[in-house]
Amino acid sequence: MAEIIIVPYAAAAGSLVADAIVRLIERNREAVLGLATGSTPLPVYQALEPRLKGIDVSRVRGFALDEYVGLDPAHPESYRSVIQREVVEPLGLDPALIRVPDGSLDGIEHAGEEYEEAILAAGGVDLQLLGIGTDGHIGFNEPGSSFASLTRVKTLTEQTRDDNARFFDSVDDVPRHCITQGLGTILRARHLVLLAFGAGKAEAVAGAVEGPLTASLPGSAIQLHPRATVVVDEAAASRLRFADYYRYTYENKPAWQAI
Ligand code: PGA
């Protein structure tokens, strides 16, 4: 099962995960990071910024999970722009080594395959950051996504478009399609780190961690992964049946076992 860590607030999760990423980069200067967008990973990126000062990150590589289809890459809410603004610039990464799926309409039919090839050519993702949608999606793998799926175009649910409307002037401006790493792509990463904060995520987290394995709740795919870490605040943990056991396990974790 995944390791479940319940923290008092999001910044504590950010510190914990940032420490793991720093250790990874210190072990391997060419580490491949799986980058997530949305509000959830921001505490990780914020905690990483001071920690990476003085560490050579010039060869660190990165792959974003997803991108909107048909949105101008220069739009401030394209994930290319978001990754540049929230990750590449503050952390001092080399933009040439950070890839985002290509959501431009021209060539979209091959974009998924090309992205898969690029991930394979990089040797795969070492640590994949994940948020989870209120409908249980990871990446933009909406309910019904195959556990074997690879990077491809998906249609966003109305719920996801509503959830993401806060980033746009109106829900009508949220694109209807996206290109996302598949569940099969995500499961190939060597370490999955799923974060969730707030009561709005409690049901999705409980389903992903303790519910049945089902494509209807794509986050449940993490149960198939041999090394998954789930870091949640109390509110997001509030529907977990075995929360006391997870707390007990973490409190008694041997010092040599890092996340
Ligand atoms: P959020 O989105 O981090 O903005 O809540 C999570 C997701 O949709 O995966």
Render pLDDT for 115-128 as a digit per residue (tens, 0 to 9).
Answer: 999 999 999 999 99
Mean pLDDT in residue range 219-241: 98
Helices (H), the chain: 10-27, 42-51, 79-83, 89-91, 108-121, 158-164, 183-188, 202-210, 243-251
- Position 255 scores a pLDDT of 85
Residues 150 and 185 sit within 8 Å (Cβ to Cβ): yes
- Position 258 scores a pLDDT of 81
Closest CA to 132 of 28, 31, 213, 222: 222
Mean pLDDT in residue range 148-166: 97
Give φ, ψ of 196 to 5 degrees.
-155, 140
Closest CA to 60 of 78, 42, 82, 35: 35
Rounded Cα–Cα distance for residues 60 and 97 (Å): 7
Among the listed ranges 122-126, 152-156, 252-256, which one has the minimum average pLDDT value?
A: 252-256
- Position 257 scores a pLDDT of 85
Give φ, ψ of 109 to 5 degrees.
-70, -20
- Position 152 scores a pLDDT of 98
CA of 225 to the centre of ligand 1 (A): 21
CA of 163 to the centre of ligand 1 (A): 8
How much of the chain, in percent, has pLDDT values that exceed 70? 100
Mean pLDDT in residue range 83-107: 98
Residues 133 and 40 sit within 8 Å (Cβ to Cβ): no
CA of 132 to the centre of ligand 1 (A): 6
Mean pLDDT in residue range 204-231: 98
Rounded Cα–Cα distance for residues 208 and 136 (Å): 7
Q: pLDDT per residue over 128-137, tens digit each?
A: 999 999 999 9
- Under the banding of pLDDT at 50, 70 and 90, the label for residue 259 is confident
Mean pLDDT in residue range 236-254: 97
| Domains, the chain | 3-251 (3.40.50.1360)
Instruction: Indicate if the pLDDT at residue 223 is higher than 90.
Output: yes
Active-site residue identified among 135, 191, 225, 233: 135
Closest CA to 222 of 136, 101, 124: 136
Token pair belonging to 68: 């909107």
Mean pLDDT in residue range 195-216: 98
Sign of CA dihedral 230, 234, 235, 238: positive
Indicate the top mutation candidate among 40, 137, 166 to test ligand 1's pocket, ranked by most ligand atoms within 8 A of CB. Answer: 40
Each as own residue / partner, the long-range contacts of residues 45-49 (CB below 8 Å, 24 or more positions apart, any chain) are: 45/14, 45/86, 45/87, 45/90, 45/91, 46/11, 46/14, 47/11, 47/14, 47/15, 47/17, 47/18, 48/18, 48/21, 48/22, 48/91, 49/90, 49/91
Mean pLDDT in residue range 11-39: 98
Mean pLDDT in residue range 149-169: 97
Half-sphere exposure of 157 (CA within 13 A, CB side): 17
Instruction: Indicate if the pLDDT at residue 182 is higher than 90.
Output: yes
Q: Let me know if 135 is a catalytic residue.
A: yes
- Position 256 scores a pLDDT of 85
